[in-house]
Amino acid sequence: MENVHDKPDPRQGFSRKWPLTPYTLEVREILGPEPPFETSCTIAYLGGCTLSGSIEGAGLTRNGEICPTQFNLAVRLRRAFPGQPFVIRNFGEAGVTATQFLCRGFIENVRQVLPHLDIAFLRYGIADRKHEGIPKTIESVGQLCVQLEEAFTGITIVIETDMWVDYPRHYLFDRNPRLAPLYEKLRDLAASEGYAVVDIFAKVEEETQKGNWDLRLRSVPVEGISSIADDSFDELFAADSAFFTNIHPNARCYGLIAEWEVAKLRELFGDTLPHT
């Protein structure tokens, strides 16, 4: 008798079809055709390295891979604001400061990609603190906010602080005392001009103090080599804080940040996303 288990099995590998489950249906819808800009709430990220975006305005995927900032927000927005169409673009790029964004005219990228803009998350700080210093950064972020308000009538601006590091347990040196004054000034700017704030810096510290410290990528001390994304090597290198000296958020942190952002949008808009 022929053994059916010896025959080729089409269910193995990538040839099998995904079953229709709540997960597959939801993700297919999120990653499917975008709704029209004209009838959607449009959301943009502007900032630096922790956004993992592109100055051209990345969508939910790029080069066949999920873009973590946008995708995490999209999944949570869909559940927090069911049935309400939205479009997300990420103009953040590593090393780009608020001053550079202004001087190089990158705001035109936003205008060309988005016919209107309802919500802008601005996350500047790390490269800005390195290259511009605090006064210039605050000046540039303020100017950028003004330009966005002039370009997009009715826009809501949300200023974000950026990552806090767990020194000395999980970082080689203490970046927090240099970053904290900048973020304090950004909070002051937001308060004086009526902008909302998502205080990532404070919230990451709070999570860490609660024991939820695993919120950043691991380092690879070789130029041009990507970071380690998870805890696969923690058992081997956890005693060396150099292993953890990477300021960029990991997958768990991307999810938390998106939750904080959605909570802020619920606080601002209740149950209905804005559409100008």
Query: Is 226 part of any domain?
Result: yes
> Is 126 in contact with 166 (CB distance < 8 Å)?
no
Average pLDDT over residues 168-195: 98
Query: Is 57 part of any domain?
Result: yes
Average pLDDT, the chain: 94
Domain that holds residue 220: 36-269
Query: Is 258 part of any domain?
Result: yes
Residues 119-134 pLDDT 10s: 999 999 999 999 999 9
Specify the range with the lowest mean pLDDT, choosing from 160-169, 196-205, 220-229, 233-242. 220-229
pLDDT at 3 exceeding the cut of 90: no
Average pLDDT over residues 52-69: 91
- What pLDDT score does 4 carry? 66
Query: Is 3 part of any domain?
Result: no
Residues 228-270 pLDDT 10s: 999 999 999 999 999 999 999 999 999 999 999 999 999 999 9
Residue 17 banded pLDDT, cuts 50, 70, 90:
confident
Rounded CA gap, 257 and 245, in Å? 20
pLDDT at 1 exceeding the cut of 60: no
Query: Is 29 part of any domain?
Result: no
The gap from C-alpha 93 to its chain's centroid, in whole angstroms, comes to 11
- What pLDDT score does 123 carry? 98
The total number of residues shown for the chain amounts to 276
Query: Is 20 part of any domain?
Result: no
Rounded CA gap, 94 and 179, in Å? 17
Contacts 24+ apart (CB under 8 A), 70-77: 70/45, 71/30, 72/254, 72/255, 72/257, 72/258, 73/43, 73/258, 73/261, 73/262, 74/30, 75/26, 75/30, 75/258, 76/258, 76/259, 76/261, 76/262, 77/262, 77/265, 77/273
Q: What's the domain count of the chain? A: 1
- What pLDDT score does 73 carry? 98
- What pLDDT score does 127 carry? 95
Rounded CA gap, 51 and 192, in Å? 25
Task: Please give the torsion angle defined by the CA atoms of residues 120, 107, 217 and 187, in that order, rounded to the nearest 10 degrees.
Answer: -50
Top pLDDT among 15 and 63 is at 63
Query: Is 158 part of any domain?
Result: yes
Instruction: Look up the CATH number of the domain holding residue 144.
Output: 3.40.50.1110
Residue 2 banded pLDDT, cuts 50, 70, 90:
low
Residues 130-146 pLDDT 10s: 999 999 999 999 999 99
Residues 31-49 pLDDT 10s: 999 999 999 999 999 999 9
- What pLDDT score does 50 carry? 96
Query: Is 101 part of any domain?
Result: yes
